Chain A
C-alpha cells in the first residue's frame, strides 16, 4: 500500500526519536532521504549508515531550522543530490518544562523559533519544487498539547497550536498544485523530548490515556508515512492525533 520508490524526502530532526523512525520508514518503502539534524552528528551518521546498509539511499545535513536560510539549504541539497523533492517531514523540535510564570523570554523564543518558525522556513523553501512538479506531501509534527494544552509546557503548546494553524492555511494555499499539507499530533511518546517531564507526571499521563501506556516513535511514524504516501491524496489540512486515546477532542 505504501510505496515511496523514486521519491525524495527531507526529514528535519531526523537523527533521533520520531524523526528517526520516520527516516527509517521512508527508506524502507523506497524513498531517498535527506536527514536534517541540529547537533547530534554521531546519531545522524548512524541513522544514515543504517539506511545505507539496508541498500537504500540517505544523507545527513547539519542544519539549524531557526535560521531563515535553513529551508533553502536543505532543499538545494536534496535537489542537487537527487534532482527533485516530493516529501517534507518537519520533526525538528525541542521541549522544556516549567510554569509560564517562571518562563524566560529566551526559552519562549527558542521553542517558538524551533518548533514553529522552523516549519515556516522549510515549507517556504519546499513549495517551489513541489509546485513545479505539481505534487508534494508535507507533514508537520504538532502535538496533542497544541489543542489540549499541558501544564508546564505553554511554549511547546503554543508552537504546536501554531503548527496546526499554519498547516490548515498552507493546505488551502498549496492544494491547486496537488500538494497536501497535514499535521500529526502525538501525545506522550517515548523519546528524549519527554525526559524534561517529571516521571510522576509521565506515570499520571499513562494512567489517563485510554491505551494506558505511552506511545512509541514507530507508532507516530506510521501515521506520518500514511499521510506522506500517494494514497493519502484527498486528505489535506488535517491533524491526525496519535495519542493512544487521550482527550479525543
Chain B
C-alpha cells in the first residue's frame, strides 16, 4: 500500500470531504488523526470502521483555530505514532450573509476557522516534516475563492487566502522535500451545501458541464493523489474539482 507507514492528519476529518479523505488515506495504508471540533460521534464511529478494516485511526477533538489546541493535537499524533507525513487542512465553516448585513463576528469566525487554522496547522507540522526531509500538505479551498459567490465575501476571502498562503509556503519549504498544494472543489454533496437555496442549486446544475454535483469521494481522490509520493513535482498548484463549471 502506497502510504503504508505514513501518518496523516485530516482536520475536520469526520464529515463530508474530510471523512472521504480519511477513508482514502486509511485505505492507502496511512494512520490517520481524525480531527473534529464537535462531531465526536462521527469521528469515533469512523475510527472504529477503519480499525475494523485493519487500519489505524485516532479521533482527536481540537479547535484548529486555537493555537494551543493545535499544538496539543500535533503532540498527540507524535506521541502515538512518532511522525507526521501528511497534513490535510479541510476543516471549514460558512457563515453566509450579503456584505451589507455581514456581522464582524461572522467575518472573524470564518477567517479564523477557515484560514488561520491552516496557518496554525502548517506552522506546527513544517518543522516535523523538515526534520525528515519529506512532507505533503494539501488544503481544501473552494471554487468560491476563484469565482466569488454571493453572500460569501468572508468565505471567499478565507478560501482565497489559503491559496496565497499555500503558494508562499510552497516556495519556502520546497527544498525540504515538502510540497504544498490546494484543491478547490465546486458544489459537492455535503452538509455544507444543503443550506444553499433550491433556486441556486438548480441554476448551478445548469452551469456545471457534467450536469451534477460532485461527491466527497471525488475530491478525496484528488487529495489522495496530491499527498502521494508520486506527486513529487507538483507544488503551489490549485487543482479545481468543479465538474467543469468555471474552469478557472
Report the minimum CB–CB distance from B217 to chain A (whole Å).
8
CA distance A137 to B73 in the complex (A): 41
The reply on A92 being an interface residue by CB < 8 A is no
Q: Which residues of B contact A222 (CB under 8 A)?
A: 225, 230-232
What band does the interface of chain A fall in when counting residues whose beta carbon is under 8 Å from B? Answer: 20 to 34
CA distance A180 to B209 in the complex (A): 10
A243 x B239 contact (CB < 8 A): no
CA distance A172 to B211 in the complex (A): 10
| Chain A interface SS verdict (over half) | loop
Contact check: which of B174, B211, B221, B241 meets A211 at CB < 8 Å?
A: B174
CA distance A210 to B170 in the complex (A): 7
B244 x A172 contact (CB < 8 A): yes
Nearest-neighbor residue (CB-CB) of B243 within chain A: A234
The reply on B201 being an interface residue by CB < 8 A is no
Interface size on B, residues (CB 8 A): 36
B214 x A234 contact (CB < 8 A): yes
CA distance A234 to B242 in the complex (A): 6
Taking CB atoms and an 8 Å cut-off, the chain B residues in 154-188 that contact chain A are 167, 170-171, 174-175, 179
* Given A176-B211, A237-B209, also A219-B170 (CB < 8 A): no
- Could you list 27 A-B pairs, sorted by A, with CB under 8 Å? A1-B24, A1-B224, A175-B209, A175-B244, A178-B210, A187-B233, A210-B174, A210-B235, A212-B174, A222-B225, A222-B231, A231-B221, A233-B221, A234-B214, A234-B215, A234-B242, A235-B218, A236-B244, A237-B247, A240-B237, A240-B239, A241-B237, A244-B174, A245-B174, A245-B235, A245-B236, A248-B236
Q: Which residues of B contact A (CB under 8 A)?
A: 2, 24, 28, 167, 170-171, 174-175, 179, 209-211, 214-215, 217-219, 221-222, 224-225, 230-237, 239-244, 247
Which 8 A-B residue pairs are closest in the complex by CB-CB distance?
A: A175-B209, A210-B174, A248-B236, A219-B233, A237-B247, A234-B218, A231-B221, A245-B235
